[in-house]
Amino acid sequence: MRTEGGPRPAASPDPLAGRRILVAITGSIAAVKMPLVVSALAKRGAQVRCVLTASAASLVSPVALASLSRHQCYLDADQWCHQAPRPLHVELAEWAELVLVAPLSATSLGRWVHGLADTLLASTLLATEAPVVAAAAMNTSMWQAPPVQGNWQALQGFGRVLALGPAAGLLACDRQGDGRMAEPEQLLLALESLALWGWQRDWQGLTLLVSAGPTREALDPARFLSNGSTGLMGVLLAQAARLRGASVQLVHGPLQVHPGLLEGLLCTPVQTAAQMQAALSAAQGQVDAIAMAAAVADHRRVEPLARKLSKQELGELWVEGWEQVPDLLAGLVASRPPGQAILGFAAHSGDGLAAAREKLSRKGCDWLFANPIDQPDAGFGSPTNQGWLLGPGGQDIQLQPASKLAIAHQLLTALRPPGPLPGHRVLPRAEANP
């Protein structure tokens, strides 16, 4: 927390800054998106090395990747060199802290799963012990072919692999269907999640309902009452749960986040608090947990006006004709089925801890995350957050400034049903660049 008049706390580090990340690119047309991913990683302070199959090198320029990663880009011809004391695939495999295989083609998937080490990329994947994000991309029929599906299933059993299946959409072969590589924002998110949390799927088999973003309450056909919530915290909470294995439903007001961040979530967009309440009530019976991150409007017009008001009329509007929006969170708590865990949020300015404690007991949820919106590294739209997580039995847990994804993981650990995590491993903090 910032102390009055004292020094500003150091901005929380980017979980990818300083990480050694190997980007492995195979022969699918989605390879053309990878220079942007490599550029984004380099800008975030990661050390990046790229390795390409021969097919990938015919689709995307190794020269561009070398330039964007600020390092030589590796091809099959580099694997064996009489001047190198150790095989390149072993050097790269041991150097990497995190590996991103994207796009992952049917051929490279098959090589990997069946242990064939006949390219530099395939040998490196087999030799590395680092956690891997793998994003498949191919033609729909290839993806649906039984041998590919069998290989994909086998990959799920690899443990330290976070496998991102292809999304549906228009493919380069002009077909509409499953096969698109996960969006670049998803690849970066998955890497960040792997660095922060590891690959454990402790939410596997569980369902989470998340609300995010503001609501909009109409005044007249042209104007509405809303707030500055972007929805980023709720969206990242939803994605972190998905990457930990949960099925996630997101009910959201108008968001200001990259659309790529919504991939993989079952989304119900709404505008008003009444629509949000209806969507949440409809979903409540099917979920194990709820996280109410939405910034619901506090007041609304009893009757929104059917015609646009003049300036004069608008000035008179504030006096009467208003009602309080019902408390959605308290309503969900009142109607929850046994065993359903509920997390509320409380955005505050100034010292909000005492008010948050009162809010937790008033609303009756299990957990309440109280976060400031008047600190430099927290609040609406900020990539970072901090605050207090208040829980059952008077637990007050201070969450230090960190990326919103890191905060999301901490909240999910509190909210998930209790139980040990077998073999859970989180990467140590990145060391200084050698």
Binding flag, residue 347, ligand CTP (CB under 6 A): yes
Q: Does 328 bind ligand CTP (CB under 6 A)?
A: yes
Min dist CB 328 to ligand CTP, Å, is: 3
Residues 203 and 205: their CA atoms lie apart, in Å, by 6
Residues 185, 178: Cα–Cα separation, whole Å: 18
Between 120 and 294, name the residue whose CB sits nearer to ligand CTP. Answer: 294
Cα separation, 245 vs 239, whole angstroms: 10
Residue spans of beta strands (DSSP E) within 172-276: 176-180, 207-212, 217-218, 224-225, 247-252, 266-269
CA distances from 359 to 331, 355, 392 (A): 14, 6, 13
Establish if 292 lies at the interface with ligand CTP (CB under 6 A). yes
Query: CB-wise, 287 or 347, nearer to ligand CTP?
Result: 347
Binding range to ligand CTP, per CB under 6 A, among 79-87, 136-144, 291-299, 411-419: 291-299
Is residue 73 among the annotated active site residues?
Answer: no
Candidate list 98, 120, 294, 411; residue touching ligand CTP; CB under 6 A = 294
> Which residue stretch of 80-88, 155-163, 290-298, 395-403 sits at the interface with ligand CTP (rule: CB under 6 A)?
290-298
Cβ distance 387 to 371 under 8 Å? yes
Angle at 304 between CA 307 and CA 297, to 5 degrees: 135
324: helix, strand or coil: strand
Cα(64)–Cα(77) distance, integer angstroms: 18
Binding span for ligand CTP by CB under 6 A among 29-37, 75-83, 241-249, 339-347: 339-347
Look at residues 284, 379, 382, 406 and name the one whose alpha carbon lies nearest to residue 338.
Answer: 284
Among 138, 325, 378, 399, binds ligand CTP (CB under 6 A): 325
Q: Please identify which of the residues 50, 73, 173, 365 carries the catalytic annotation.
A: 173
Q: State yes or no: residue 327 binds ligand CTP (CB under 6 A).
A: yes
Which of residues 351 and 431 has its CB atom nearest to ligand CTP in the complex? 351
Residue 345 in contact with ligand CTP, rule: CB under 6 A:
yes
Q: How far is the CB of 392 from ligand CTP (least distance, A)?
A: 17
Is residue 346 close enough to count as binding ligand CTP by CB under 6 A?
yes
Taking alpha carbons only, the member of 20, 27, 57, 72 closest to residue 41 is 20
Interface region with ligand CTP, contact rule CB under 6 A, candidates 86-94, 97-105, 306-314, 324-332:
324-332
Minimum Å distance from CB 189 to ligand CTP? 23
Omega of the bond prior to 103 within 30 degrees of 0, cis?
yes
Question: What is the C-alpha separation between 410 and 109, in angstroms, rounded?
Answer: 33
Closest to ligand CTP by CB, 65 or 329: 329
CA distance 211 to 240: 14
Does position 227 interact with ligand CTP (CB under 6 A)? The reply is no
Q: Is 257 in the site for ligand CTP (CB under 6 A)?
A: no
329 lines the binding site for ligand CTP (CB under 6 A)? yes
Identify the H or E element spanning 300: strand 299-301
Residue closer to ligand CTP, measured from CB, 358 or 431:
358
Say how many residues touch ligand CTP, by CB under 6 A: 12
Query: For ligand CTP, which residue of 275, 298, 317, 397 counts as binding (CB under 6 A)?
Result: 298
CB 375 to ligand CTP: min, Å: 16
Which lies closer to ligand CTP via its Cβ, residue 76 or residue 327?
327
Q: According to the binding rule CB under 6 A, does residue 414 interact with ligand CTP?
A: no
Query: How far is it, in rounded angstroms, from Cα 368 to Cα 396?
Result: 10
Give residue 6's identity as a one-letter amino acid code.
G
Inter-residue contact 199 to 157 (CB < 8 Å): no
Strands 341-348 and 289-292: parallel
> What is the smallest separation between the CB atom of 424 and ligand CTP, expressed in angstroms?
28
Q: Are 175 and 140 in contact (CB under 8 A)?
A: yes
CA atoms 372, 186, 129, 31: torsion sign = negative
When the beta carbons of 140 and 284 are compared against ligand CTP, the nearer one is 284
Residue 199 or 345 with smaller CB distance to ligand CTP: 345
* In the complex, least distance from residue 1 CB atom to ligand CTP, rounded to whole angstroms: 18
Active site residues: 173
Interface residues toward ligand CTP, by CB under 6 A: 292, 294, 296, 298, 325, 327-329, 344-347
